[in-house]
Amino acid sequence: MVAGAEDDIAQRYVASPVGTLRLQAITAGVVGLSFAGVAAPCARGYHSHNQANTWLDRLEQQLHEYFQGSLHYFDLPLAPAGTAFQQQVWQALCSIPYAETCSYRDLAEQVQRPKGFQAVGQANSRNPIAIVIPCHRVIQHDGSLGGYAGGSERKMWLLAHELKMHKQQGHEHNEDEHAKSKFNIPVSSHLKCVR
């Protein structure tokens, strides 16, 4: 979905353990979550569309729960603007389980483009809704971290946070079921695209 001129974007900035986040929504759902380049005021930016603000309220609450470790899956309507291929990749990203990773190659196979892992990487880098659409869970095939639009420090922090919270809640990964990245983070072996 593409936000039109008649559907202005509501936005606000919120503080988080990984820096200030810029949240954006329209009446149809969340359209953006990005890392603010500079510290912005953490104030509510109310907008004329009450529904867009409702999505921002829910997103802010769910992010708070995610950073506390009590939320593993976001439950929000998403309306990111992108090509059909980007949308397909972003949908597949949502199927990567919490506290696990997969490679760009695995993701390319998931979207039925086994030789298109570079295209998948580009679509991944254009994800407009960071954290919620978990592009940080995609690593290199050799287990190395790979790139991240929010910076490698944030990517490593998010992956380590998820693994720590998962383990604290008594979830242990069966070594026989999951490979591990170089960062000791489980690699998903069972991607299934939710349609």
Beta-bridged to residue 28, according to DSSP, are none
Cβ distance 135 to 93 under 8 Å?
yes
How far apart CA 171 and CA 169 sit, in angstroms, is 6
Q: Specify the 3-state DSSP secondary structure of 20.
A: coil
Cβ distance 111 to 122 under 8 Å?
no
Helices marked H in 23-131 — which ranges? 50-68, 84-93, 104-110, 117-125
Beta-bridged to residue 26, according to DSSP, are 29
| 135 noted as active-site residue | yes
> Kind and range of the H or E element at 153?
helix 152-168
Task: Name the DSSP letter for residue 133.
Answer: S
Burial track 11-49 (b if 16+ CB lie within 10 A, e otherwise): bbbbebebbbbbbbbbbebbbbbbbeeeeeeeeebebeb
Set 42, 94, 102, 135: catalytic member: 135
The residues assigned a catalytic role are 135
